[in-house]
Amino acid sequence: MNSEENPKDEERRPQPSQPVSQPLPQAQPPAPDGPQESDSQEPGSGAAPRSGRQRLAAALWPPWVTRAQLIVAVLLFVLGLGLAIQVRSNSDESALRGARQEDLVRILDELDNRTQRLEDEKQRLEDQRTELENSSDQAEEARKQTLQKEQQLGILAGTVAAEGPGITLTIQDPAKTVESDMLLDTIQELRAAGAEAIQVNGIRVVASTFFSGSAGDIEVDGKRITAPYTFEVIGEPQDLEPALNIPGGVVQTLEKEQAAATVERSEEIVVDALRPAERPDYARSSPQ
């Protein structure tokens, strides 16, 4: 007997279970060490999206420095400091290293001449002492040496005129670039080379002489002088001229300032500008 199945029985019959596919969880990237900011803002949050420059600044600051990077930076700093000191020490000797052979020979000759002058002075003083000790008339010998010493001190003090071999240094300053300190350096260089008497534009140079003023308006001991500046110097010409022409010396320095310096040797230089003899206010001669 065939009978139709009741639709309700069909609904009650259990249905085969269907596999339900669930999405697998995705692995999340590890969180970075430092705080991170999202590249974009949540929609509707009210903040405008950041530009590329802002994202780059956020990635670079604050900087994250490891201990190894800090050690490398310190080592590089120490290495750079050492190289800078080495370069500076080498540049101090560049003037002589770059000098020509004839200039180096001339510098050595000048040093030898200075040494010889000191040796001669030492020998002269020793001879004077021997004469005083051996002279039968020690009073007369002492008087004669005192007069000689007075003449020498008078030349140094500028109270007596002097003459002898030497040089004439003329400095032309058309651009008015020569400063007072350059003229003072010239005096110091001449004295170091053995100058015994100097006058500049008719003014006697002594131990107390000073230079003041600016370029084009220079004064010597309060007296104004103008270019050309003429130095009349008594001393050994073979020592004075090379001292002015050494590399980095007076002549080269003046040429860099667009000034011209000429040196002429002479067998007879007269230094006749005089300074008044001044009595010291406090200093007195000592018996020793």
Q: Residue 87: which H helix or E strand, with range? A: helix 67-92
Between CA 39 and CA 50 the distance in angstroms is 7
- Flag whether pLDDT at 286 surpasses 80: no
CA-closest candidate to residue 34, choices 68, 62, 67: 62
Residue 186 CA to residue 94 CA, distance in Å, equals: 22
Are 215 and 177 in contact by the 8 Å Cβ rule? The answer is yes
Task: For residues 215 and 169, give the distance between their C-alpha atoms in angstroms, rounded to a whole number.
Answer: 18
Name the band, by pLDDT with cuts 50, 70 and 90, for residue 119: confident
**Given this model, what pLDDT does residue 94 score?**
57
**Angle 192-121-141 from CA coordinates, rounded to 5°:** 135
Within 8 A by CB and 6+ apart from 72, the residues are none
- Helical ranges in 162-205 per DSSP H: 180-192
Closest C-alpha among 236, 144, 245 to residue 193: 236
Of 37-51, 66-80, 83-97, 155-169, the one with minimum mean pLDDT is 37-51
% residues pLDDT > 70 (the chain): 73
Q: What is the mean predicted confidence (pLDDT) over 255-280?
A: 90
The pLDDT assigned to 38 comes to 47
- How many angstroms separate the CA atoms of 216 and 212, rounded? 11
Q: What was the pLDDT predicted at 37?
A: 47
- In angstroms, rounded to a whole number, what is the distance separating the alpha carbons of residues 199 and 235? 13
- pLDDT, one tens digit per residue, over 3-41 is 444 554 555 555 554 544 455 555 455 444 444 444 444
